[in-house]
Structure 1
Amino acid sequence: MPAITLSKGANASVTHNVPTATTITVGFSWHVVQSNGPATEVVPCAIACGQDGLAVTAQHVVYFNQMLSPDEAVSYEPDGSLPGGDVEQIEVDLQRIPSNVMSIALILYVNPDLRQPGTFDSVRDCVVRVLDRAGSEVIRYPVEAADLGATSAVVAGELYRRQNEWKFRAIGQGFAGGVADVAQNFGFEL
């Protein structure tokens, strides 16, 4: 079955499209246009949020320096030879997500430690994918270039609960202030 391709603002049911899935993978891919300056380093992260839309705790922000949520439901998969052209992946064990987690925000940001201030201006072909356990693409969201550009962080998408169902929403909301703006928006400290 071909993957569902979403546009900004659209959503699709993960539960319906992967009915037997207990674990899914969120894959991120992009290309960086080379320049004479420092290369832009894009970093994905996942933020497990409560009913209020804020991070449950700072330990529920999963990225390369904090690779596992406290409940072990969300994990950052180190890069390497990832399937399907993904540059980075985050794995989500839907059965382990505690009942107080209502959504998982999927973020991409330009690493401020590598390049100041750094933006998505040189990033092309940014895609977020939901994969089943076998690695088959189920849902795809090509993040629109207009939602990247001069921003340095973007909420690319969101996994969220709707009654007994998990869904994926294509968001594409950019932040000019980068990961600091993301932290403020989701209520955690860097």
Structure 2
Amino acid sequence: MAVNLSKGGRINLEKEAPGLQSVLLGLGWDVKKTDGIDFDLDASVLMLDANDKAIGEGGFIFYNSPTSTCGSVIHQGDNRSGAGDGDDETITVEFSKIPENVMKMMIAVTIHDADSRNQNFGQVDNAFIRVANHKSNEDIARYDLTEDYSTETSLIFGELYRKDGEWRFAAKGDGFAGGLSAYLAIFGIES
């Protein structure tokens, strides 16, 4: 049974699922009624070192660069509409392939062309991230984002991080305006 987390909640993945080797990150959302302009939300993972700086372009995984250089993180494809129930986009992470210098992985969702389309996360409902055992697809943790993000165009849904040699997950819900380029700049990548 999955642990339901609130914003800021943390869980030790290996204690909840002993022998865990890889996870599936399922991200989902629904769009409220809008003026008819399609929403395109994009999930991504950014690998960080101990100083919270990106390890380089090979550590930024998204629909247009779906596999990390080390092969540990694989984006399973872009869903351009968010239609349907369940996961809209999924990403797999294989822990044994993660380089030692990677201490965190930020899992974010950004709204494509949000500024030109006048869109923000205030127009998105039922956003969530779930962390599942990739082998069994059994949920380990889930975080439902419930705040009203009326100006934010990018949201960090969660974070995988290494502590005491074990992988953990933190529910974040940190939002900001400025889209993908502003999000990447925080961690030292200029787009």
Structure 1 length as normaliser, TM-score? 0.92
**CA separation in 2, counterparts of 1:79 and 1:47?**
16
Cα offset, 1:145, TM superposition = 2.6
> 3-state DSSP class of the match of 1:53?
coil
Query: Amino acid of the residue matched to residue 42 of structure 2?
Result: V
Moved more, 172-181 or 68-77: 172-181
> 3-state DSSP class of the match of 1:169?
strand
Partner of 2:82: none
**How many equivalent residue pairs?**
185
Partner of 2:136: 134
Partner of 1:105: 106
Partner of 1:175: 176
Moved more, 68-77 or 28-37: 28-37
Partner of 2:147: 145
Cα offset, 1:118, TM superposition = 2.4
**CA separation in 1, counterparts of 2:127 and 2:175?**
13
Q: Would you say 1:12 and 2:11 are equivalent positions?
A: yes
Cα offset, 1:121, TM superposition = 2.0
Q: Mind listing any 5+ residue stretches in structure 1 that lack a counterpart?
A: none
Cα offset, 1:41, TM superposition = 1.3
**CA separation in 2, counterparts of 1:68 and 1:34?**
33
Any residues of structure 2 matched to 1:107-126 within 5 Å, and which?
107-112=108-113, 115-126=116-127
Alignment check: 8 A CA contact 1:160 1:167 kept:
yes
Give every structure 1 segment of 4 or more consecutive aligned residues whose post-TM-superposition deviation is greater than 6 Å: none
**CA separation in 2, counterparts of 1:78 and 1:40?**
16
Query: Amino acid of the residue matched to residue 38 of structure 2?
Result: A
Cα offset, 1:17, TM superposition = 1.1
Partner of 1:67: 66
**CA 121–39 in structure 1, closer or farther in 2 if over 3 Å, else same:** farther
Alignment check: 8 A CA contact 1:124 1:145 kept:
no
Query: Amino acid of the residue matched to residue 135 of structure 1?
Result: N
* Superimposed CA distance per residue, residues 108-166 of structure 1 (whole angstroms, 9 cap, x where no aligned partner): 110128953421121000010000021111100011233x3220001111000001110
Any residues of structure 2 matched to 1:43-82 within 5 Å, and which?
43-78=42-77
